[in-house]
Structure 1
Amino acid sequence: MCAHYGSWEWIFILQKHINHKGYAVYKRLANKHFDKLVKRIRAKYNSHLITTKETYGVLLESKKKNELTINGFVSDQSPKAHKAFHWNEFMGIKVPMYTGAEMLAKKLDMAVVFFSVKRIKRGYYETTFTTITENPKAYKDYEITDLFFKMVEKQILEAPQYYLWTHKRWKHRDKVPAEFL
């Protein structure tokens, strides 16, 4: 799991250095030409882009084949308020949170790792992979998601200039349903 922080796009080069099959979950773009361009750029190093709707089926099939996979979820975006299963505070504001990575990890018994990025200097980044859990079923629902967001929050507070502030993370803050207050 990672956030829209720093230069996260370069993670796709990881496929050049590992033997695992790499899947990156993405939301299909409405403009088919830009969608094709994004897929081509991100798949350059043999990563396989799968849409959010394809994710469970593709990862389940890989598990049945005993394939070793590395699966990327940029999980800090904002789900539609009426479809959110979980709301919690992020940067001091109550917001809906995507829980798909956690739910898939539990269903498919996948380890959960946080991918953080640190800018060293122009054009140079360092990444750290921090294991959140190797046993996701041992966690209560949404606990992994909350841990992930705490890690993202810490990363942002250390260097806020590298967070993608423009993706409207807090657009639903005034729509918190009563059951989540």
Structure 2
Amino acid sequence: MQFLAYILIYPILWMVSILPFRVLYFVSDCLYVLLYYGIGYRKKVVTNNLKLVFPEKSEKEIDALRKNFYKHLCDMFLEMAKTMTISEKELKKRFKILNPEELKRLENLNKSVILIFGHYASWEWSIVIQNYINFKGLAVYKRLANKYFDKLVKDIRSKFNTDLISTKETIQIINDNEAKGIKSITGFLSDQSPRLTNEVYWGRFMGIDVPCFTGAERLAKKLDLTTAYLKVTKVKRGFYEAEIITLAENPSEFKDYELTDMFLREVEKQIYTAPEFYFWTHKRWKHKKTN
């Protein structure tokens, strides 16, 4: 069944990936009409999230923000497919690193790097970062249930010299690399909602106390890894800019959860600036503390 789904969907993804960008975004406009007005994909979740974090906004403002988000969401879905065949030259043009010298500076510290970022703007095209640094590129991800699509995603990432690794593999792989003298830069998407346990850290995000992933911080402290935030901004349709913001060169000097809080503040600033580019379809606030 998995293979059947793969052979049915893969040709569609490939055809989307070879479309010129002008045509790609026309398809995105059509997909938006279907997704927003027809299917109504997760519209209730998006609406509840927006009203929760922006209680001061009117219904009209929420409606406009929701529509702009869905337009961006459709663009992002198709841009992910475009990654299958996009060239390095084209990707560098559309996803610019504003301060590549900071990557070089971190590289010269001769310490592996933890790069934390959120589900904001475009995280998929961040794979181009690997072409600005000599460190081994790693990205922590959750394995896909369909093993064929899981392999496809890995193949796409490896095209730009980034290896996908599961959460359980992360510490072992980085430790092995360090033992071999291989320095790495590892990307973590750390703004989702973790499984609720008694040991979970509750941090404040968008004015609400929520459980937070702390794996990136704990790993950075345990292995003494430089920690940085990737600030991705959408400049216009199909074009992004990214800035490397160093949070800690010596993470062990920071209090527990301080780096996690610093990361959350950076994501918040971006959301308040342009909220339509955040990933509102996931249930980030499904667990929250109430007064």
TM > 0.5:
yes
SS at match of 2:271: helix
* Structure 2: distance between partners of 1:74 and 1:24: 9
| Residue in structure 2 matched with residue 37 of structure 1 by the alignment | 152
* Structure 2: distance between partners of 1:69 and 1:57: 13
Q: Which amino acid is 2:180 matched to?
A: K
Gaps of 5+ in 2: 1-115
* Structure 1: distance between partners of 2:242 and 2:134: 19
Among 276, 279, 283, the alignment partner of 1:161 is 276
Contact 1:84–1:98 at 8 Å: present in 2 too? Answer: no
Among 200, 218, 225, the alignment partner of 1:103 is 218
Q: What does 1:20-169 align with in structure 2 at a 5 Å threshold?
A: 20-82=135-197, 84-169=199-284
* Structure 2: distance between partners of 1:75 and 1:44: 24
- Measure how far apart 1:66 and its partner are: 2.0
Q: Which amino acid is 2:166 matched to?
A: T
Residue 5 of structure 1 pairs with residue 117 of structure 2: no
* Structure 1: distance between partners of 2:198 and 2:272: 28
| Residue in structure 2 matched with residue 15 of structure 1 by the alignment | 130
Gaps of 5+ in 1: none
Contact 1:113–1:129 at 8 Å: present in 2 too? Answer: yes
- Measure how far apart 1:47 and its partner are: 0.5
- Measure how far apart 1:109 and its partner are: 0.4
Seen in structure 2, the aligned counterparts of structure 1 residues 171 and 84 have a Cα distance that, compared at 3 Å, is farther
Q: Which amino acid is 2:214 matched to?
A: T
Which range moves more in the overlay, 156-165 or 23-32? 23-32
Identity of aligned residues (%): 54
SS at match of 1:166: coil
* Structure 1: distance between partners of 2:272 and 2:213: 21
Seen in structure 2, the aligned counterparts of structure 1 residues 72 and 83 have a Cα distance that, compared at 3 Å, is farther
Q: Which amino acid is 1:162 matched to?
A: F
| Higher-Rg member (1/2) | 2
Q: Which amino acid is 1:166 matched to?
A: T
* Structure 1: distance between partners of 2:146 and 2:199: 26
- Measure how far apart 1:84 and its partner are: 5.0
Which range moves more in the overlay, 141-150 or 33-42? 33-42
* Structure 1: distance between partners of 2:128 and 2:158: 9
- Measure how far apart 1:167 and its partner are: 1.6
Q: What is the root-mean-square deviation in Å for CA atoms of aligned residues?
A: 1.6
Q: Which amino acid is 2:147 matched to?
A: K
* Structure 2: distance between partners of 1:172 and 1:60: 33
- Measure how far apart 1:17 and its partner are: 3.1
- Larger helix percent: 2
Q: Which amino acid is 2:142 matched to?
A: K
* Structure 1: distance between partners of 2:280 and 2:148: 25
- Report the TM-score, using the length of structure 2 for normalisation: 0.58
SS at match of 2:228: strand
* Structure 2: distance between partners of 1:75 and 1:127: 17
- Measure how far apart 1:85 and its partner are: 2.4
